[in-house]
């Protein structure tokens, strides 16, 4: 349980840091790029044999790592923007309800069977998205921005989870998960530094420090996740982890950032939790 708690806290800390960066005028692309460099360094310290193990991998692993690396840096940037524009609560909700995407892919691509409760969960998830975006108390412009950011978070995080699902399905027995993750961090870092070099964007000291602050909890969020999965089934870990992140971010947003939670959003919050529980089969008849 301590690893689950660690995963929830470190994952939430990343989103909270993004929100704090807004007040300090931190340039996200610089901080995010440095963050991935820090993750790689932490990974090498964690597994000193990483480079030797990388030499004996299938081409498909490298391809997935490159794709996931691009998605990582793109979505990390989007999470940062979303936390600043639509708040912690919405960012956490849309990011976590994306569990719908990998579950749907598992059903249609990997021919996994869907139960009646999982089908209900998928429908509830779609209804939750509607209620999360339909508060009558918000201005239309803000509502449209919530929808835009929400769709990006929903689809992007869903694709990331799907890539991990593909990796697990084809390569989990032959490739250590920590090796794959370090490759993903490295790819994201290379892409980020390439963008900065091409655009002659020299990282400033405050952005470098911010990247270090991001990188440490980002790496340990992975360590806590892997450690938790060694202690408990993924079918229990992921929904509990998602629900914990949703409620902690909502609590912090309301208490420390004066974010408003409208009535329809409370309904969407409840439906989000129910959808996660149904899809993950933690509710049975």
Give residue 137's pLDDT band: very low, low, confident or very high (50, 70, 90): very low
For residue 237, what are the domain limits? Answer: 2-279
Could you tell me the pTM of the whole model? 0.81
Q: Tell whether the model's pLDDT for residue 134 goes beyond 90.
A: no
205 by Cβ neighbours in 10 Å (0-12 / 13-18 / 19+) ranks as: exposed
Give residue 235's pLDDT band: very low, low, confident or very high (50, 70, 90): low
Q: Tell whether the model's pLDDT for residue 141 goes beyond 60.
A: no
Nearest to 89 by CA among 31, 141, 157, 149: 149
CA angle 248, 260, 251 (to 5 degrees): 15
What is the reported pLDDT for 194? 95
Give residue 183's pLDDT band: very low, low, confident or very high (50, 70, 90): very high
Q: Let me know if residue 284 belongs to a domain.
A: no
Nearest to 238 by CA among 222, 249, 257, 225: 225
Q: Tell whether the model's pLDDT for residue 123 goes beyond 50.
A: yes
Q: Let me know if residue 138 belongs to a domain.
A: yes
Q: Let me know if residue 107 belongs to a domain.
A: yes
Q: Let me know if residue 149 belongs to a domain.
A: yes
Q: Tell whether the model's pLDDT for residue 204 goes beyond 70.
A: yes
Residue that wins the pLDDT comparison between 61 and 1:
61
Task: Please give the Cα distance from 95 to 150 (Å, whole number).
Answer: 8
111 by Cβ neighbours in 10 Å (0-12 / 13-18 / 19+) ranks as: exposed
Q: Let me know if residue 285 belongs to a domain.
A: no
Task: Please give the Cα distance from 86 to 3 (Å, whole number).
Answer: 29
Maximum average pLDDT range among 26-30, 106-110, 222-226, 255-259: 26-30
151-162 mean pLDDT: 88
Number of domains in the chain: 1
Q: Let me know if residue 60 belongs to a domain.
A: yes
Q: How many residues does the chain have?
A: 285
Q: Tell whether the model's pLDDT for residue 140 goes beyond 70.
A: no
249-272 mean pLDDT: 83
Q: Quick count: other Cβ atoms within 10 Å of Cβ 274?
A: 17
Q: Let me know if residue 182 belongs to a domain.
A: yes
| Token digits of residue 236 | 């229990």
Strand, helix or coil at 88? helix
Instruction: Using only the alpha carbons of the chain, give its radius of gyration.
Output: 19
Give residue 283's pLDDT band: very low, low, confident or very high (50, 70, 90): low
What is the reported pLDDT for 265? 77
56-74 mean pLDDT: 92
70-86 mean pLDDT: 90
Residue that wins the pLDDT comparison between 214 and 225:
214
Sign of CA dihedral 14, 144, 158, 264: positive
What is the reported pLDDT for 139? 46
Q: Tell whether the model's pLDDT for residue 212 goes beyond 90.
A: yes
Q: Let me know if residue 271 belongs to a domain.
A: yes
């Amino acid at each position: 349980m301590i690893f689950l708690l660690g995963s929830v806290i470190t994952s939430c800390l990343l989103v909270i840091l993004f929100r704090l960066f807004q007040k300090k005028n931190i340039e996200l692309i610089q901080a995010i790029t440095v963050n991935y460099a820090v993750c790689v360094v932490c990974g090498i310290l964690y597994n000193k044999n990483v480079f030797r193990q990388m030499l004996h991998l299938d081409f498909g692993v490298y391809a997935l790592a490159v794709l996931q690396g691009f998605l990582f840096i793109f979505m990390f940037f989007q999470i940062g923007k979303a936390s600043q524009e639509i708040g912690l609560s919405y960012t956490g909700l849309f990011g976590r309800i994306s569990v719908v995407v990998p579950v749907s892919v598992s059903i249609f691509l990997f021919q996994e069977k869907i139960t009646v409760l999982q089908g209900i969960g998928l429908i509830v998830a779609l209804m939750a998205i509607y209620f999360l975006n339909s508060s009558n108390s918000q201005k239309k412009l803000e509502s449209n921005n919530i929808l835009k950011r929400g769709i990006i978070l929903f689809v992007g995080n869903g694709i990331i989870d799907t890539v991990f699902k593909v990796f697990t399905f084809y390569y989990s027995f032959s490739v250590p998960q920590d090796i794959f993750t370090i490759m993903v961090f490295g790819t994201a870092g290379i892409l980020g530094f390439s963008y900065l070099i091409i655009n002659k964007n020299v990282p400033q000291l405050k952005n470098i420090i911010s990247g270090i602050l991001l990188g440490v909890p980002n790496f340990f969020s992975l360590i806590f996740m892997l450690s938790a999965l060694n202690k408990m089934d993924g079918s229990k870990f992921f929904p509990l982890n998602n629900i914990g992140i949703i409620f902690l971010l909502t609590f912090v947003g309301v208490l420390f950032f004066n974010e408003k939670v409208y009535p329809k959003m409370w309904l969407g919050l409840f439906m989000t939790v129910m959808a996660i529980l149904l899809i993950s089969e933690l509710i049975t008849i």
